[in-house]
Amino acid sequence: MGLTDNMRGAAFMTGSMTAFTLNDVAMKMLAPDMPLFQAILLRSLIVFVLMIALIRLQNRPFQRIGRRDWSLILTRGAVELLAIFLFLTALFNMPIANATAILQVLPLTVSLAAAVFLNEPIGWRRIAAILIGFVGVMLIIRPGTEGFTIYSLYALGAVICVTFRDLAARQLSPDVPTNQVALVTVVMIGLGSAVASFWSPWVAPTGNMLGLLAIASAFVIGGYIFSISAMRVGEIGFVTPFRYSGLLVAIIVGFLFFDEWPDFWTLTGSAIVVATGIFTLMREQRAARAAT
């Protein structure tokens, strides 16, 4: 018996989250030997080459983009660069499961920001879910306790940046090609990290470092492809909750590669964030059906 569209979409989303998490593993392994901005720059160069090859294979010519969309694309790229810096700084200095768990609040923050800045409707149940989700994040961060580090705030800053990145993407015209948006973002990240690398030391990459960069770049491309495929098949309300599989993968690889295991409060906060995120997505799906 063949897979349904929903099951294929769920598999694509799980593959996307797994690929992005394994990219994080490769980048985290680079942390002791390579400066942050050098790692981002070299990964961006590899990703750029792979994306150009992919666009060539798809045989899709570049399209003309209007001024309004260009401003949104450039804003999105700038915020993405800041998000990468904040998240990788957190990732290099804290357990991968903790950093990934904080990112799981994104569906909640995007829903709240869309209501505040784009006037999208949001009911009291989803507002309550967002507030409870933030309680879960506070259990993970635990400010004022021994488990708190400044890098938890870096991860939270990455959440804020990604939220505004998604708001910018949400306002793009429907005819703007996704591959062009992604390519411009990669170029901006490469240029930004190149400028920043002037103020940090530079090391000669070894074969092992280049191998890790190649692995990270391949998983980034795979994550993009799988995430796009996930949104093209199946129902979004069914497929999207599978993004939380990334947290499970992060816990497993954190234990296998870095001998890290989340404590009780991190696991509890993660469960709260995931539960409220799934509830929010279910409410959005139900509202969409009611509107239809």
Q: Rounded to the nearest 5 degrees, what angle is found at the Cα of 123, between the Cα atoms of 118 and 125?
A: 135
Q: For position 231, what pLDDT does the model report? A: 61
Q: For position 59, what pLDDT does the model report? A: 72
Q: For position 46, what pLDDT does the model report? A: 92
119 or 251: which leads in pLDDT:
251
Instruction: Give the max Cα distance, the chain.
Output: 58
Do residues 25 and 253 lie in contact, with contact meaning Cβ atoms separated by under 8 Å? yes
Domain assignment of residue 10, given as a range: 5-291
Q: For position 87, what pLDDT does the model report? A: 93
**At 45, is the pLDDT very low, low, confident or very high (cuts 50, 70, 90)?**
very high
Its pTM stands at: 0.82
Distance CA 215, CA 17 (A): 15
Structure tokens at 11: 């598999």
Q: For position 216, what pLDDT does the model report? A: 93
Phi, psi (rounded to 5 degrees) for 92: -70, -15
Instruction: Report how many domains make up the chain.
Output: 1
26 or 239: which leads in pLDDT:
26
Distance CA 136, CA 118 (A): 26
DSSP string of 266-279? HHHHHHHHHHHHHH
**At 171, is the pLDDT very low, low, confident or very high (cuts 50, 70, 90)?**
confident
Residue 279 has pLDDT above 90, yes or no: no
In tens, the pLDDT along 83-106 reads: 999 999 999 998 998 888 888 888
Structure tokens at 13: 């989303």
Q: For position 190, what pLDDT does the model report? A: 92
Do residues 34 and 204 lie in contact, with contact meaning Cβ atoms separated by under 8 Å? no
Q: For position 56, what pLDDT does the model report? A: 80
Do residues 273 and 136 lie in contact, with contact meaning Cβ atoms separated by under 8 Å? yes
How much is the mean pLDDT over the chain?
A: 84
